[in-house]
């Protein structure tokens, strides 16, 4: 199925997330993978998978949980809200999915109530203006770097006294005040969640080394997207982890040499949630409403309506370069059906009207950029039943081929509907 030295593939969103990545992890999980791994992010992600018309949503869990005999790994680079994770596991079990295999890294940092509070309540905190998902992701990663973090091993193997001390240290450092009963309850809730999760907790780097030595097929499932990368995204309007292929190795404890295939997931148009520059953004109109409603463009985690824009090949080119993308999957192509004229962004002009060659590092400068568009013809035919590239209307094929040539990476898949089966292999 893949040309590779190792049987591994990274599934990586090239823009701002929400591009139906979960569908491709699920596609690989159901057709090919033995192991599905998450290496970064936490319950800020939301993967929706549609199987036989039934919709399932997971947030912290890898999307391989829907396929029998697939091992799902949550690596050390993720952050986990243990209480929410217990609920997510219950949700699966209540939906009849009981036989999934799960390994959670003992090194994974955990999100607590005070991380959520820091993410949401403190007006002057810089994260406030970024309009995060409010799940405490940033403060949890920040505590990790401050050496104030609490890890899965602490809630699974630590005592009440040990955990209380860690919590007390962190809240003191953040100048938060809680009464003793609140802290005791918080510690007890974490220990309780630790008891429920302990059966899954292990050293996942050992698990993955074994899987690689046994030539198992491994999917590394990205979360968020390249433009939300803490280094190369539109800083500070970014998430706190590294969602490009570079984050995989350190996020799950394997050497980078094992990563060779990178499938870049590209939505046929652009969306983003949260604040920050969005050069190809469309003003609210009948067109954006149509795209938002047809594409169900509302945050899986927050329910916020997503901002809508034309596809931006300028930033996708940068994302390809940083990710080392070896193939592309174009998703939600069916959402563009019925739009007469499409636009594709092929470059940016700066405030002086000059073409620029790379994305400016300062958002102040990105705000002043204007898009350079190429106009393309749309199509009217329903494409949701197309099984082969040739079945697509000519205009849709031209649209895909243009993206492929511009980005200089082969389009391997085109998704034409939400179901597992609505994928064209090109």
Which residues of this chain interact with ligand IMP, rule CB under 6 A? 16-18, 44-45, 130-133, 135, 137-138, 223-224, 228, 237, 239-240, 273-274
Q: Which is nearer to ligand IMP, 75 or 138 (by Cβ)?
A: 138
Residue 47 falls in the annotated catalytic set: yes
Q: Which is nearer to ligand IMP, 236 or 338 (by Cβ)?
A: 236
CA distances from 342 to 235, 379, 396 (A): 29, 9, 10
Residue 312 falls in the annotated catalytic set: no
The residue among 225, 230, 222 whose CA lies nearest residue 37 is: 222
Residue 351 CB neighbours (<10 A): 10
Of the residues 18, 119, 229, 334, which is catalytic?
18
Q: Are 279 and 348 in contact (CB under 8 A)?
A: yes
Q: Are 278 and 234 in contact (CB under 8 A)?
A: no
Expressed in angstroms, the distance from the first to the final Cα of the chain is 13
Report the distance separating Cα 401 and Cα 97, nearest Å: 39
Q: Which is nearer to ligand IMP, 139 or 253 (by Cβ)?
A: 139
The residue among 187, 172, 153, 162 whose CA lies nearest residue 80 is: 153
Q: Which is nearer to ligand IMP, 226 or 344 (by Cβ)?
A: 226
Q: Which is nearer to ligand IMP, 88 or 260 (by Cβ)?
A: 88
CB of 10 to ligand IMP, least distance (A): 16
CA distances from 246 to 103, 183, 251, 349 (A): 22, 37, 9, 29
Of the residues 13, 26, 47, 334, which is catalytic?
47
CB of 111 to ligand IMP, least distance (A): 10
**Active centre residues (catalytic):** 18, 47
């Amino acid at each position: 199925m893949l040309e590779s030295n190792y049987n591994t593939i990274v599934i990586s969103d090239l823009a701002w997330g929400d591009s139906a990545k979960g569908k491709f992890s699920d596609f690989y999980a159901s057709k090919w993978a033995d192991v599905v791994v998450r290496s970064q992010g936490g319950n800020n992600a939301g993967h929706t998978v549609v199987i036989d018309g039934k919709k399932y949503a997971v947030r912290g869990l890898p999307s391989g949980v829907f396929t029998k005999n697939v091992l799902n790994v949550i690596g050390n680079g993720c952050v986990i809200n243990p209480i929410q994770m217990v609920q997510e596991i219950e949700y699966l079990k209540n939906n009849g999915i009981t036989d999934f295999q799960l390994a959670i890294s003992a090194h994974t940092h955990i999100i607590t109530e005070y991380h959520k509070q820091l993410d949401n309540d403190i007006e002057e905190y810089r994260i406030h203006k970024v309009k995060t998902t409010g799940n405490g992701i940033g403060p949890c990663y920040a505590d990790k770097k401050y050496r104030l973090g609490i890890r899965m091993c602490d809630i699974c193997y630590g005592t009440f006294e040990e955990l209380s001390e860690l919590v007390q240290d962190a809240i003191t450092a953040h100048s938060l005040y809680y009464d003793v009963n609140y802290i005791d309850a918080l510690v007890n809730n974490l220990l309780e969640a630790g008891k429920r999760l302990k059966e899954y907790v292990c050293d996942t780097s050992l698990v993955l080394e074994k899987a690689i030595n046994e030539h198992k097929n491994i999917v590394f499932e990205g979360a968020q997207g390249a433009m939300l990368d803490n280094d190369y995204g539109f800083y500070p309007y970014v998430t706190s982890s590294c969602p490009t292929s570079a984050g995989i190795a350190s996020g799950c404890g394997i050497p980078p040499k094992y990563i060779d295939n990178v499938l870049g997931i590209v939505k046929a148009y652009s969306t983003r949630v949260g604040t920050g520059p969005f050069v190809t953004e469309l003003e609210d109109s009948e067109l954006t409403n149509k795209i938002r409603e047809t594409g169900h463009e509302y945050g899986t985690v927050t329910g916020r309506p997503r901002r809508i824009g034309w596809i931006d090949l300028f930033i996708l080119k940068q994302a390809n370069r940083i990710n080392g993308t070896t193939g592309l999957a174009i998703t939600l192509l069916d959402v563009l059906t019925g739009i007469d004229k499409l636009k594709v962004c092929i470059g940016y002009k700066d405030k002086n009207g000059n073409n620029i060659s790379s994305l400016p590092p300062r958002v102040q400068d990105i705000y002043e950029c204007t898009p350079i568009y190429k106009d393309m013809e749309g199509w009217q035919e329903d494409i949701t039943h197309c099984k082969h590239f040739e079945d697509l209307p000519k205009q849709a094929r031209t649209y895909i081929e243009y993206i492929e040539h511009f980005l200089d990476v082969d389009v391997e898949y085109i998704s034409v509907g939400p179901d597992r089966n609505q994928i064209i292999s090109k």
